Amino acid sequence: MYIDGKWLNSSSGETFESINPYNQEAFAIIPQASNSDIDLAIQSANHAFETNWSKTNGLKRANLLNKLADLIEENAENLAELETIDNGKVLRETKNQMYFAARNYRFFAGFADKLSGETLQLDNINIFDYTLREPVGVAVLISSWNSPIQTLTNKLAPALAAGNTVVIKPSENASVTTLELGRLIEKAGFPAGVVNIISGDGNVGDTLTKQANINKISFTGGSNTGRKIAQNASQNLIPCTLELGGKSPNIIFSDANLEGAVNGAIAGIFGASGQTCIAGSRLLVQQSIYEEVLEELVVKTNKIKLGNPLEQQTQMGPVANEKQFNNILSMIEKGKNEGIDIVTGGHKAYDDKLSGFFIRPTIIANVNNSMMIALEEIFGPVLSVIPFYDEEEAINIANHSRYGLASGVWTKDISRAHYLAKKIKSGTVWINTYRTTAVQAPFGGVKESGYGKERGLQAIYDYTQIKNVMIDLGNEARDPFSINV
């Protein structure tokens, strides 16, 4: 682990294995942080903030972030390969995510020297009033296993740009690339204690988020864990950004470009083996084109190439770990008890060449939105196809979910597109595209998909606090028992 500029094993000596989901073999040994390791990381972050980083100007912070971006690009292939081995996501995607991460650091580096307050005109003209935008202090960043570097970058880049120090805990199911990133952070020249990385299971995250001497928590992961973190944080009134689960509706109208819409539906659910919080796992298709779209979906889905995620021709790799593999298959079995109509897939991949945690891409037809399969996040390659008749029914089905992270609308009618964009309750609405990202665009959900924003200008503001300063420029003696206005 990387604490206070030093590489340390767990003080308890405990470790755990990182398993390659493609061949089910252990390929790395990861330290299990002890309570004393957690304390040391937080102390180091606080010390670095008070003595160094909070006094470092925005230009120097920007230079370090840009240097880190350079190093990530230089090491993109190695990082991508490690991440693919760690979580099974295909190499073509993990490599793109490394370059996207570098772009993120450069984007937020550009704001590091531009975080200014403002002067305010008050009713009392003798009072000079201004605000200061200041870093919050120590931020705890907990990232997910499905895209470790990308989800961490969404947090780390704005946190450092704003002048905060951090304690990072990656998921125990994919810790390797985050620890490897620590080597690049060290090489970039960040002062000791500015970035601290500890690893371990959920107990480490639980302990970490109960601490009083932290100032911000950002978490990406499941909704149940998000609730627990919010509960822990509330004991010390620590603000949180929570990027949680989703059951996103992807809506195809009869006037849509059907080839583009079907391709978008495939990418929306089977990209990353369905293991994305934004997965378009509920495909709503207008009744008049339902059979046509379903038939084309099945044809394209059955052509998806499963295989070694390190090979360029592979289009879908294994799911990330055994627990997730079993959870997905279990939810499919529960769906069968509801009488679901599986038109393709629905089982593990029976192939001698695919010995890892592979599940065939699955399409379930004629789903009723009240079914468990349509209500619960599966986080796997399972698509529920739901028919609808008109705009209002599509909106009602889309919003009938406790989640609200992302959504998609496929139509050539611009009025309809804008109407649905306003009516759908989600943090992101894609029109005639899906699973598209940009560093400038704020990302985050509503309802049980969490709160707070990542990426975009709003993200860096979430790692700052506003201080108001009032200066009386008048010489008038005031009544000490009256309120000055």
Judged on CB neighbours under 10 Å (0-12, 13-18, 19+), 427 is buried
- Among 7, 106, 20, which residue's Cα sits nearest to residue 322? 20
Examine the residue annotation and report whether 277 is marked as an active-site residue of this protein: yes
Pairs from 95-98 (Cβ < 8 Å, separation ≥ 24): 97/147, 97/149, 97/150, 98/72, 98/73, 98/149
Catalytic residue among 83, 172, 180, 243: 243
Query: In 52-90, which ranges are continuous DSSP H helix?
Result: 58-74, 76-87
Q: How many CB atoms lie within 10 A of CB 165?
A: 28
Judged on CB neighbours under 10 Å (0-12, 13-18, 19+), 127 is middle
Q: How many CB atoms lie within 10 A of CB 387?
A: 20
Examine the residue annotation and report whether 243 is marked as an active-site residue of this protein: yes
Q: How far is CA 455 from CA 177, 438, 439, in A?
A: 21, 8, 5
* Distance of alpha carbon 363 from alpha carbon 360, whole angstroms: 10
- Among 464, 466, 443, which residue's Cα sits nearest to residue 453? 443
How does strand 464-472 pair with strand 127-135?
A: antiparallel
Catalytic residue among 172, 277, 391, 448: 277
The single-letter DSSP state of residue 405 is: S
Please state the φ and ψ torsions of residue 48, each to the nearest 5 degrees: -65, -35
- Among 52, 36, 26, which residue's Cα sits nearest to residue 1? 36
- Check: CB of residue 434 under 8 Å from CB of residue 408: yes
- Which residues are catalytic, by number? 243, 277
